[in-house]
Amino acid sequence: MNHRAIWAIYKFEMARTGRTLLQSVVSPVVSTSLYFVVFGAAIGSRITEINGIAYGAFIVPGLIMLTLLTQSTMNASFGIYFPRFIGTIYELLSAPVSFLEIVTGYVGAAATKSIILGLIILATSWLFVPMQIAHPFWMLAFLVLTAVNFSLLGFIIGIWADSFEKLQTVPLLIITPLTFLGGTFYSIDLLPGIWQKIALLNPIVYLVSGFRWSFFEVADVHIGISAAAALFFMGLCLAITWWIFKTGYRLKN
């Protein structure tokens, strides 16, 4: 394992966050705070609690997941797309660096930025509602798993996209709607029977459910199933990434 190469890629990507601090950190935190104020005040005044949990506290894990999913995807996709756009990717591909080392550097940096952002939003939420974390280990585990999974997905999107418009398509038109429909602001138990079954086809339901369980021990899906779904998604993304580097899909032409 070429640790120096991994560190070089990781350090470069993390430095980009410092140069775009307003866009990378401040903007998502402000947006999430507005979500919290609007949904917590407007809906929370009518829905006082869900499954015995105050509505303001109930939506905190969902809001963190909403930010984590979108930011992980966008950070990783832009991180690998820009070298392709300006042509520096060929220097990286010609260097004695394996695909695993390249992926570790880019995905690791994108996941780190998202995890830091998620922890900042978690700390900010305590300014609005009192809250305890029942299982800190599982909370961190799902935080890391989600950030890594969607950073891998973003890495794949960044290679697939051949324009800035396509780079935005999946996060804005697919991931964000699926997140809103994945139990971010409600429990899927509140849905009619047929829609509960349809909701289970949404992979984000399992991530939000597992993450919420780590806070309140309340979940729409068993914690074991949520963890297995997260690991399966990671394996699938790794397999696709390995195939991309093996075939040179949109990397060598």
pLDDT of residue 22: 61
pLDDT of residue 146: 94
Mean pLDDT of 33-40: 72
Residue 133 lies in a domain: yes
Split at pLDDT 50, 70, 90, the class of 170 is confident
Query: Could you tell me which residue, 76 or 17, shows the higher pLDDT?
Result: 76
Residue 181 lies in a domain: yes
The alpha-helical segments, DSSP class H, found in the chain are 3-19, 21, 27-38, 55-86, 89-94, 99-125, 136-160, 164-170, 176-180, 193-199, 203-216, 223-247
Residue 253 lies in a domain: no
Would you say residue 235 has pLDDT above 90? yes
Mean pLDDT of 168-197: 86
Would you say residue 21 has pLDDT above 90? no
Residue 211 lies in a domain: yes
Average pLDDT of the chain to the nearest whole number: 87
- Whether 133 and 64 have beta carbons less than 8 Å apart is answered as no
- DSSP-derived 3-state class of residue 54: strand
Residue 23 lies in a domain: yes
CA-based nearest residue to 203, from 232, 162, 160, 242: 232
Residue 189 lies in a domain: yes
Residue 252 lies in a domain: no
Q: Could you tell me the residue range of the domain that residue 21 belongs to?
A: 3-247
Residue owning tokens 């909370």:
139
In sequence order, what are the residues at sequence separation of 6 or more whose Cβ sits closer than 8 angstroms to the Cβ of residue 15?
A: none
pLDDT more than 90, % of the chain = 40
Split at pLDDT 50, 70, 90, the class of 41 is low
Domain count, the chain: 1
Split at pLDDT 50, 70, 90, the class of 190 is confident
Residue 148 lies in a domain: yes
Split at pLDDT 50, 70, 90, the class of 253 is low
Would you say residue 238 has pLDDT above 90? yes
What digits encode the pLDDT tens for the residues 53-105?
A: 888 888 889 889 988 998 899 889 999 998 988 888 888 888 888 889 999 99
